[in-house]
Structure 1
Amino acid sequence: MTELLGVPPEDFPTFRTWTSDIGLVFSLALGGDIPARVEAAVTGLYDYVDGLMAAKRAAPGDDLISALVSIQQAEGSASRDEMQNLIVSMIFAAHDTTRLQLANAMVTFSEHPDQWKLLGENPELAQQAVEEVMRWRPSTNALFRYAPADFEFRGESIPKGTMLLVGVQAVQRDPQAFPGGDVFDITAPRSTPVLQFGGGLHYCLGAPLARLEITESLPVLAARLGAPSISGPVSWRPAIGITGPNELPLRFG
């Protein structure tokens, strides 16, 4: 994504830290060092993007930020702040969720080596395997919504405007919503879509790209490498928000 946007290669490591830390914005309630890390990432990323936009205006390149800046200059349809916010959103949304979903996929297959072998022998199952991985261990494990009207749920009164936190993984393993959902099976047809991309007007614009990236990755790995196993300690990001392993040492075969 940094290559597509036009970020110089020497800045990739810094971007990786910022995009990882900014994703913790959904876990602010947990306190600790999370608020400070998020603030530092937001400040750093916005300042950097501001400078990068200025550089692209002065010397446009063959990249997405150059194209956006050129259009903004020609049409004036978006303010500088709007353009800056759009670019920051693309950087953040295009990286953290997808890399953690791929990591979650590897954790899942380490627990189900038979399914890894099945995918390696049947690459045509790739798209279905991706949907099953996202259902079983989603990198976005919570949806934030507001009640559009007063309602009651299991004896609990929910006033209009109440913010609701929907536990994605719990729903997606519920056999009532996903028949047979308490079992990880890349061959099982699932008619219910996963929740983490949202829906309707609030559907994730990057969903096709995220699916494509993981769909390209998994069958290549499964065809060339034996089943993954975790070969060292793993610590995890908070379960609420964008979640997955901070580090994932793996051994294949």
Structure 2
Amino acid sequence: MTIVTELELPVFDYSAPDLTPESYHGRLAEVAEQGWLAQGPLSYVVLDREAGEFFLRSRATAFPGREIAEIFGIASGPLWEHIDANILNQTGDRHRRLRRLVGPAFTPRAADWWRPSMREFLDRLWDPAATSCEFVGAVARPYPSLTIAAVLGAPLDDAPKLHEWSNWVQRQFDIRSLSNDLPRIERAADEVYEYVETLLDKRRAALSDDLLSALLAAEDDGDRLSHAECVNLVLNVLSGGIDTTQAQLAHALRLFAEHPAQWALLARDPGLAGCAVEEVLRYEPITPFTARICVEQVEHRGVVFPAGTIVAICAERANRESPTGEDFDISAERDGRPLTFGAGSHYCLGANLARAELEEALTFLAPRMPDLALDGPPELAGIEGIYGVESLSLTWTSP
């Protein structure tokens, strides 16, 4: 056995100033050719699927949210309370209890219940006379905000506020933002805590069909969620369910504009929407890296990872690990589920809702935007945290 610190590893710096969204796929591929493991600035980077799944599923690893927060001096206040209580940072019996109680609210059937609302929002945002738009501002940003507002039972007029809070609270996972924007992230956590408390107070007085009502009514053998657990789970939905879907939908339209034959195929056969969503999730994951910390010594492939070692599982490389993995093809048969939503006990709670939102959007848009094309280079965000699209100008012809 060799201790990981004794290995001579290639370096992949995911925070390097010269690492651009346009270059990072190629640079990752070059590093992956040298082996399954690389050295990063705060962690080791795991570059293949089997090893990635091993660390994501291992009971000897956990999400290092608290440890990363402490590196940046976050040890108290609402942001720390959110990080400390986040279901991502729970392990063992506590984590299993929370997943058991809230699981019914996040099933595929629960997500499907919101599809008519998703279609209504898409129709509201769509301009039938348009043949061009800046897609992020026109659709990708407001659509998931409206959906999450409906799911939570919040006023739809609050959707822009929800997006703003989600954007900032989500940056707790972005090491560059933690370095530069910590006061703004903490202020957003303050504001959203107050907002969620008010929402919950209103919903207790009149339960409905929304997620808040489901959380307040969640019960298993007499066990119920505490008030603090309800608040923090709603914060998880807010911080994890808006920016992520916005980014993935914007990348989807960018990819299809770059692959017009695939867009035409989807328009001809809307039944491919589910496959199209899976291919977008596989090809361009908006969470390229998922961190885990070894809570005890871990051994894998003859390498010892001491307790306290942080690894970053690279979904981008894992997802493309096949002979045709670098091809974007919605009709291709793929082996295995992409690691975009993680794996194991911490598999993303909101994955079913996100998939439903993306399916409805692609089904709605494909027949309405023939000859889809880029109208200038997209403006892409950094790959730390959520890999998003800042601006995406598109053109199409009238159906």
Secondary structure of the residue aligned to 2:389 is coil
Which residue is equivalent to 2:55? Answer: none
Contact 1:144 1:163 in 2 (8 A): yes
Separation in structure 1 between the aligned mates of residue 327 and residue 170 of structure 2, nearest angstrom? 29
User: Is 1:146 paired with 2:293?
Assistant: yes
Contact 1:128 1:186 in 2 (8 A): yes
Separation in structure 2 between the aligned mates of residue 62 and residue 129 of structure 1, nearest angstrom? 30
Higher relative contact order (CA 8 A, sep 6+): 2
- Give deviations 1:92-137, integer Å, cap 9, x for gaps: 2222211211111011111111111111112222211111111111
The 5 A counterparts of 1:14-163 are: 14-29=161-176, 31=178, 33-58=180-205, 60=207, 63-69=210-216, 77-147=224-294, 149-151=297-299, 158-163=305-310
Separation in structure 2 between the aligned mates of residue 191 and residue 12 of structure 1, nearest angstrom? 37
Q: Shift of residue 34 of structure 1? A: 3.1
Contact 1:178 1:192 in 2 (8 A): no
- Give deviations 1:170-209, integer Å, cap 9, x for gaps: 2222xxx323101111111001210021222122222122
Contact 1:130 1:211 in 2 (8 A): yes
Task: Give % identity.
Answer: 37
Separation in structure 2 between the aligned mates of residue 58 and residue 160 of structure 1, nearest angstrom? 47
User: Is 1:166 paired with 2:325?
Assistant: no
Which residue is equivalent to 2:336? Answer: 192
Which residue is equivalent to 1:230? Answer: 374
Contact 1:151 1:160 in 2 (8 A): no
Q: TM-score, normalised by structure 2?
A: 0.56
Number of aligned positions between the proteins = 247
Contact 2:216 2:225 in 1 (8 A): no
Secondary structure of the residue aligned to 1:165 is strand
Contact 1:134 1:194 in 2 (8 A): yes
Q: Shift of residue 30 of structure 1? A: 5.0
Which residue is equivalent to 2:49? Answer: none
Q: TM-score, normalised by structure 1?
A: 0.86
Unpaired segments ≥5 residues, structure 2: 1-147
Range moving further from structure 2, 241-250 or 26-35 = 26-35
Task: Output the aligned Cα RMSD.
Answer: 2.5
Contact 1:27 1:238 in 2 (8 A): no
Which residue is equivalent to 1:248? Answer: 392
Unpaired segments ≥5 residues, structure 1: none
Q: Shift of residue 150 of structure 1? A: 3.7
Q: Shift of residue 4 of structure 1? A: 2.3
Range moving further from structure 2, 184-193 or 231-240 = 231-240
Contact 1:27 1:34 in 2 (8 A): no
